[in-house]
Amino acid sequence: MAVPLDAAVYACLTTCFYASTRVDEFTVPKLDGFDPSRHVTRDNLSYDQDRNGFRVTVLHLPRSKTTIEGEDVYWAKQSGPTDPDSALNDHLLVNNPRSTDHLFAYRKSNGTGYQPLTKRKFIERLAKAVRAANLDPLQGHGIRIGSILEYLAWHAF
């Protein structure tokens, strides 16, 4: 995915889905609203192992809706085109935000630096992709609800 905005949006989308997090926790409210003490940066990215010895990606949220002292969220590599590991690696290759930049910062179209991924830009780009695919738009917490349903479907049997 060579378009900087698209790479950032897809990495954010798959991260939110597989970590079952709120979009607000991985986007910023407005362009000048990025604060590394409140928003996830590339420095907040690390790797660990789960109880079965599988590699997991750990993203430290400096602050979340439910905790001001922050929390860690996790996801593991997945099979198929929605793999968050591949999406994040693609985003980091295309955009390469600095360690203290917003994790999903992307290169400006005029090539003069980076801008953080705002919730508005994320929703706009996602809505455009959904319309192009002739699908129904997501409403409210649709990504997180879909994530929980996916998890329950995998673990129901």
The Cα–Cα gap between 49 and 138 comes to: 32
Global pTM value: 0.85
Residue identified by tokens 């709120």 is: 22
Kindly report the backbone phi and psi dihedral angles of residue 33, in degrees, each rounded to the nearest multiple of 5, phi listed first: -100, 5
Nearest to 28 by CA among 20, 16, 39: 39
Architecture of domain 4-155: Orthogonal Bundle (1.10)
The structure tokens listed for 116 are 């953080």
What ranges do the domains of the chain cover?
4-155
What are the pLDDT tens digits along the chain (157 aa)? 579 999 999 999 999 888 878 888 899 999 999 999 999 999 999 999 988 898 999 999 998 777 788 899 888 898 888 899 999 999 999 999 999 999 999 998 887 889 999 999 998 998 888 788 787 766 555 554 554 445 545 555 5
